[in-house]
Structure 1
Amino acid sequence: MKTRTSGDTSLQWLIGILLGVLSLLMLLPFVWMILSSFKTESEVVQIPPTLWPQQFTLNNFNELFENMQFGVYLRNTLIIVAFSFLGLFLNALAGFAFAKYQFKGRDGLFYLVLATMMIPSQVTMIPVYLILNMMSLTNTMLGIALPSMVGAFAIFLFRQFMSTIPDELLEATRLDGAGEFRIFLQIALPISKPILAVQGILAFIAGWNSFLWPIIIANDEKLYTLSVGLQLLKGQYAGNFALQMAGSAFMVVPIIIIFIIFQKHIIENYSISGMK
């Protein structure tokens, strides 16, 4: 067994310190943005800048919700996120079908689904808009949320992960009298918890950051999302940096919280992938 020399230990310490310093430098803009959202405008623009607020204030957030309709934007964004999570369930259902059922044309249909990943979303926006317009779904929340509910990438990941579930386990459950939908809910989904966590984060981020499609499909400001509201904030209050910091912090912090909550499942997913 090779013993670790003092030179190797010193190199590891040096690399650790270097990575720690770089991590702090990377986090500094985010920390400054969040703390600046609690500052007054005069303190945000003062030179030299301050990191910690001299006096905490919630006036910036009150301004967002009272005068900028961020409460409406937040409600719309949460509705889109809810539809994204519903789409996550549909993606898992499709992945389970492709992984565990034999039917005519299964492989061809799966490759067709994969082929849609090669098409940029910008290319399909006009056809999707025309279809929704014929269905009278333009300028509606359903029209905003519907196109992003199901995605080929998510179906592919669920299919690949669920292919590793032993068929003997599913057959044993069938022998116990369980139906196919119950097998999916009680066997396939719990086993797929790591990939569900990863896709849940991706679905949340996609729904939370939805920007281009709501602008295209909706012309009513009451249907705009937080990302669109943040862009409006930038245009209407370009000189109010404290207010912009508050809006940006309100967009970023929930994503960080979601990642912290589900990070152990992401690590578990990578561990399982490594063992395979």
Structure 2
Amino acid sequence: MAEPPRSDMPDSSSGSSGSSGSSGDDLNAPQVVGEGDPPEGAAEAPWGGAPPWWSADPGDGTGPQIVIRDASGGHPVVPDGTGPLPMVPVPPPLPMPVAGEPKRVPRLLLVAGAAAVGAVVLMAGVLAFRTDGGSRGGGAGAKDARTSTGEAAASQKVISAGATAGGLRLDGRTPPQVSAAYPFVAGAVEDAGIPVAERGQAVYSEEPVRPINVLFVGGTGQVGDPAGFLQKAQPTTFIAGQDADPGGQGGKAVCGTFAVLAETHTYCAWATADSYGVVASNRPSLNPRFTLMAELMRRIRQDVERPR
């Protein structure tokens, strides 16, 4: 019969009986370590050649980096061998205001303030000029106001259109403003600068006896040069004219024609140094007769103009 295999391990019982003669092959036997010698197998750390993440040892460049803070607030980084790192520049501190130093006003505010003051001064000058010019008669509006107050009172004549004038009757059915000649005569008189008297306009007619229908417009004031005034007071659609006889009351007189759409109308007017009057036909004239119109003007003048 074959023998059972023999184990290479020593028998524990035999070893216990022969402990004094046991060999150094027993792995369970305690090892004697000399003073200063590391134990066998302790040459290497459990984590190998790299220190753990919590270690403060810089090692060979693969461990954590040490950040050194300086007094200026910067944070330089110690390179770890992987390349340069960008440095963030630290902005310089803002200058502190010096105690007691006056604050400077921005130049833009100074320029804007100066412009505003200049505009106020200029506007005040313009208003003062207009006020002074109006009180001294610098414009047409001032001239109208002057002639309607002081100069009208200084006139030695009165213009007043009554119920009859020159043998004609007042046409109560036709206001002067709607008569055919009014827009052309009234506009010219207004441009001449002497306003119409309070009772200085009317429509006179002899219809149905004769086809006569005329507009009268007149007033008083400092006319000045009668000839110059009559030239200014020509109807706005003036065609042609000639001098006429003003009558026994004196002054200057003219007669002429003016257009109302495609028709021709006749008018005559007089003026003195402080009065005027215009008589214009509301009916068209195929053949203007200045002599007859001038006679009608003189008759109407005798009834509407009188001394003050």
TM-score interval for Structure 1 and Structure 2 normalised by the shorter chain: under 0.3
Which structure has the greater CA radius of gyration? 2
Q: Which has the higher contact order (CA 8 A, sep 6+)?
A: 1
Give TM-score scaled by structure 2 length.
Answer: 0.21
TM-score by length of 1: 0.23
Task: Return the structure number with greater helix share.
Answer: 1
* Higher share of residues assigned strand: 2
